[in-house]
Structure 1
Amino acid sequence: MKQYDRRRGMRTLWLCIAVLALCAAGALALLLWKTPAARDEVIPGPRGDIYATVQMPNKLSRGDTVPLVVLCHGFTGNRDGDGHFGPLAEDLAEEGIASVRLDFAGCGDSTEPYTAYTLDNMAADVNAVIGYMKQEYNTRGATALVGHSMGGRLASLYPQISAQQGYEQVSALVLWSPANGTGLMGLEFLNIGDLAQVEAIASAALSSGQTATKWGVDISAEFVQGMQNSDPNAALREAGLPVLLTYSGNETVLSETTITETVATVQSLPESTVVLDPFVQGDHNYTSSDPAVNEQLDADLRQTTADFLYSVLR
């Protein structure tokens, strides 16, 4: 009887050890699969430091083919992206996609004056962070840009600029309410109710080198020239990349002409899609004063974007 009890005790002991081993393995697997915390980094840029936040996927998803998304904020914005960029970066990381979000010149933590905020400088900074991510994080899979408002205009133009400048290439674009009016129409957000005033602001910048705006920042002649000489929808047609386009329903800074022309452009592109219905209650920044609506807008924007990027990058 004692020998039987001893054997039963040994079996119980080994069972406990096995259970503990399985628990330890499970805990280790959870640690390995857990999405790493985002990291704020200072990236060397063509004019100095670029302040950015890097979000990598879990270790088991990393490798030579890990894809990358660059998140580009709008005029006077920052790498928070009106609260959308951080949660979106986490969503992408869970699907094995790395991301980097940056402050453009004069925005967020940038130490440059706002007059350095130009389309050419924005493109150069995007090129720099893509190269940095390849070198430091081995993100050598496909790369996409997500751009909101002026960041969306930059994203639309980037394939054209990269071809001209020999920059890093991208393979897909996501445009949230891009400011894609042709030429100076792209500046309509400076005073959507009076386009004559917009032309006056542009003229003042061109003649004086820079001028003030109602947004509390000075824009430079270089910024106005870049807008004047660019046609983002023509650039989209020329590139022919897969594009996801969204616009909100309560748009107050972009004209119906800009929206209609950009929607038509994206609808003409292969592997591209326009999504409008989930955002009819949102403003230009996909936000609402109603907390429940605000939460749903963010969830829909992130889900729509993540689904598209996963389909084109993996």
Structure 2
Amino acid sequence: MEKITFGNNQGLKLRGVFHKGTNDKLIIMCHGFRSNRSSRGRFDRFAEGFQNHGYHVMRFDFGGCGESEDRPLSLEAEVSDLTAAIDYAVTKGFTDIALYGHSLGARVCLESYQPTYIKTMILTGAGTGPVTYDWTEEFTSSQLEELKETGYLKHPVQDPYREEIVISRQMLVDFEQVDQERLLSCIQCPVLIVHGDQGEEEILLPLTQKGIKWLPSSSQLTVIEGAPHSFEGYLDHVEKAAIDWLHKHF
């Protein structure tokens, strides 16, 4: 595993790691909201598993997260970051690329789709349509007041590289504002979507069940009974589903 640094189109330095495989195919992994390239250890584990099956793997921190340079979080900014990651991979000679995204990272993968290079996607806990969250359950009243007054809020995170992230008002709006048919009907590659059925997945799963008709017919929805949004306790199931999918479609 080697550390990498590349820039996005705003000149922001994004940092990540590269796992060298043995074939000519690359998987780019995209973490979720308020997370980083490790995804609480899940991405470390999955990347090692993918590498053991011959795939190259690239994991990176979105701007404002992990080890990457500071910036407020927004969907548009993260799409720009993934686009830069794909461009970076292409400059390194990769033209067959798979995207793996969890939660918000899954939405970013869908928004960043490039038919020339993206051959398949694996999305876990994906937000494939508009979701309205009660942010009073996620943030304190002082944080929400800060957001109201400044358009941003600071949020503490457990991360080896930073103590807090900055979240824009637009980021919270982005969860609610998506045309599901437009988003999914643009995808031309086969997509595996993995959901649980507990907690937040009880909201996200029905959205995917409604929208999967707009994805290519070769796409698949897999539901892991009992799994929460983090898939903790069910990582073996997720890893097997992902590797089986890669062997078939990538």
Structure 2 unaligned blocks of 5 or more: 158-163
Structure 1 unaligned blocks of 5 or more: 1-37, 288-293
Partner of 2:171: 223
Q: Identify which of 237, 240, 250 aligns with 1:303.
A: 240
Alignment partner of 1:43 is 2:1: no
From the superposition, tell whether residues 204 and 265 of structure 1 become closer, same or farther in structure 2 (CA, over 3 Å). farther
Partner of 1:126: 82
Partner of 1:54: 18
Structure 1 counterpart SS, 2:186: helix
Q: Which is richer in helix?
A: 1
Q: Which has the higher contact order (CA 8 A, sep 6+)?
A: 2
Alignment partner of 1:176 is 2:133: no
From the superposition, tell whether residues 189 and 132 of structure 1 become closer, same or farther in structure 2 (CA, over 3 Å). farther
Q: Deviations over 1:174-228 (max 9, x none)?
A: 111113341xx2x5274579xxx9xxx6x98577422456987542134245445
Shift, 1:118, TM fit? 1.5
TM-score normalised according to structure 2 size: 0.81
Alignment partner of 1:109 is 2:67: yes
Partner of 2:198: 250
Q: Which is richer in strand?
A: 2
Partner of 1:29: none
Q: Deviations over 1:42-86 (max 9, x none)?
A: 22332321111111213xx3xxxx122110000111111232222
From the superposition, tell whether residues 179 and 248 of structure 1 become closer, same or farther in structure 2 (CA, over 3 Å). same
Q: Identify which of 10, 33, 40 aligns with 1:82.
A: 40
CA RMSD of aligned residues (A): 3.2
Alignment partner of 1:157 is 2:101: no
Partner of 1:238: 186
Shift, 1:108, TM fit? 1.2
TM-score normalised according to structure 1 size: 0.66
Structure 2 counterpart SS, 1:171: strand
- Do 1:78 and 1:104's aligned partners in 2 also have CA atoms closer than 8 Å? yes
Partner of 1:146: 100
From the superposition, tell whether residues 204 and 272 of structure 1 become closer, same or farther in structure 2 (CA, over 3 Å). farther
Q: Which has the larger radius of gyration?
A: 1
Q: Deviations over 1:243-286 (max 9, x none)?
A: 111112322x3553x3212123225531111111xx32332111
CA distance in 1, matches of 2:174, 2:226: 32
Percent same amino acid at aligned positions? 20
CA distance in 2, matches of 1:241, 1:205: 38
Partner of 2:206: 260
Partner of 2:160: none
Q: Deviations over 1:118-168 (max 9, x none)?
A: 2122112112222222223x222x212111111111122222xx58xxxx7
Partner of 2:161: none
**TM superposition outliers: structure 1 runs of 4+ over 6 Å:** 213-216
CA distance in 1, matches of 2:117, 2:135: 31
Shift, 1:87, TM fit? 2.5
Q: Identify which of 24, 28, 32 aligns with 1:70.
A: 28
Specify the code of the residue in structure 1 equivalent to 2:248.
S
